Amino acid sequence: MSSLNTTLTNILSHFVIQNPFHKQDVAMSGSTPDFDWILVADGHGHGSNKHILKRLFLGLDWDVVLSDENFYKDTIGEDGEYTSALYQSIKNASLDNYYNSKLAGVGSTFSVVKIFPERFECYHIGDSTIKIYENATRIMKSENHNFSHPDTEILKTRKCGLEHPFRQTKIWMETEGGVQTKEIWCPKVLDAQNVTMQPSFYVSFDDGSKINMSRALGHIPGSDIIEKFEGLKLSLSQQSLTKKIVPRNPDKKYAVLAATDGLWDMVCDEDDKILADFICDSENAAENIARFAKTRWFQEWNYTSPGSQLSQKIVQEEHNTDDIGIACAYC
């Protein structure tokens, strides 16, 4: 889709490939009279309500939501309601399922870029990375909210309306703050043919929340927990989206990419030129990138275990692959 709502033309595209076992990614793009935008979200959680945020995101009028310059803030007004339509919509969706405690484990990443003639406004929460390339050279990469992010310190001391904020069965890695953690392993692509695994963590809280990042939307506590709050706040996501502004030079070309980890798990920094070229070469860039990522998921890899010198040939089974959500712009 080409946008002509500014003095500069932006070519927008979005595409999703859903894993049949997950189906929780969202990718969208659009235009207002003042700016263009691209958006991705990657839901997580289990059970019959795991798609609540996905359905919400697909139903929102994003031209209206994003036109509010404070949409990304979790500010609560004097009336006890969120001033941001995004956060208020998530609250309303949770109230419709107020007595379902399983919502405590349902959440989503969220990444959006608003494209103006003179700048890119990047907003994100979670680990759906945004990258911007200027003349095919990467000039910006968003900082994922994972366990190496500074706000992990906030997460460790977060109280959820309980006398004891976290389970005391384990310490947080090797520090204070008692939470229950579970180590998991995720793929790490070394180059186009070689892959290994890297550790990540889930952390569990007394309100039933479980999360593998330091910040995300959602994670609504059940009614028994909400009643202990002074008003409803979003468990584990009582923080605004991170905002970053990148200047835009009208004399240069830009490739802007927001994607879920279905892409990022299958590429490395050496693939930046490939991704930028996809965006620069085709109006179907998002679909081409998504299919490129899917090919990577199912190709034969040389797999080396962490700490080992020996490799073996492996092919991923479908249930071990992820959804792929892509939104991009050529500017």
CB distance 24 to 17 below 8 Å: no
Q: Work out the pLDDT band at 4, boundaries 50, 70, 90.
A: very low
**What pLDDT does 170 receive?**
33
Q: Which of 151-155, 270-274, 327-331 has the lowest mean pLDDT?
A: 151-155
Q: What is the pLDDT of residues 234-251, one digit of tens each?
A: 455 557 899 999 999 999
pLDDT at 52 over 80: yes
Count of CB atoms within 10 A of residue 117's CB? Answer: 14
Mean pLDDT for 125-144 is 95
Report which of 158, 159, 177 is spatially closest to residue 169, judged by C-alpha positions: 177
Mean pLDDT for 298-315 is 89
**What pLDDT does 102 receive?**
58
Considering 18-22, 193-197, 214-218, 309-313, the range whose residues carry the highest mean pLDDT is 193-197
pLDDT at 176 over 60: no
pLDDT at 14 over 50: yes
**What pLDDT does 311 receive?**
85
**What pLDDT does 155 receive?**
62
For the chain, the average pLDDT equals: 81
pLDDT at 218 over 90: no
Mean pLDDT for 144-158 is 69
**What pLDDT does 134 receive?**
95
CA distance 281 to 328: 12
**What pLDDT does 20 receive?**
80
Mean pLDDT for 105-130 is 94
Angle, CA of 9, 144 and 190, to the nearest 5°: 95
Domains belonging to the chain, first-starting first, are 2-164+215-330 (3.60.40.10)
SS3 letters for the chain? CEECCCCCCEEEEEEEECCCCCCCEEEEEEECCCCEEEEEEEEECCCCCCCHHHHHHHHCCHHHHHHCCCCCCCCECCCCCECCHHHHHHHHHHHCCCCCHHHHHCEECEEEEEECCCEEEEEEECCCCEEEEECCEEEEECCCCCCCCCCHHHHHCCCCCCCCCECCCCCECCECCCCEEEEEEEEEECCCCEEEEEEEEEEEECCCCEECCCCCEECCCCHHHHCCCCCCCCCCCCCCCEEEEEECCCCCCEEEEEECHHHHCCCCHHHHHHHHHHHHHCCCHHHHHHHHHHHHHHCEEEEECCCCCCEEEEECCHHHCCCEEEEEEEC
Percent of the chain with pLDDT over 90: 48
pLDDT at 171 over 50: no
**What pLDDT does 284 receive?**
93
Angle between helices 52-59 and 85-95 (to 10 degrees): 130
What's the first-to-final CA gap in the chain, in angstroms?
A: 12
**What pLDDT does 214 receive?**
77
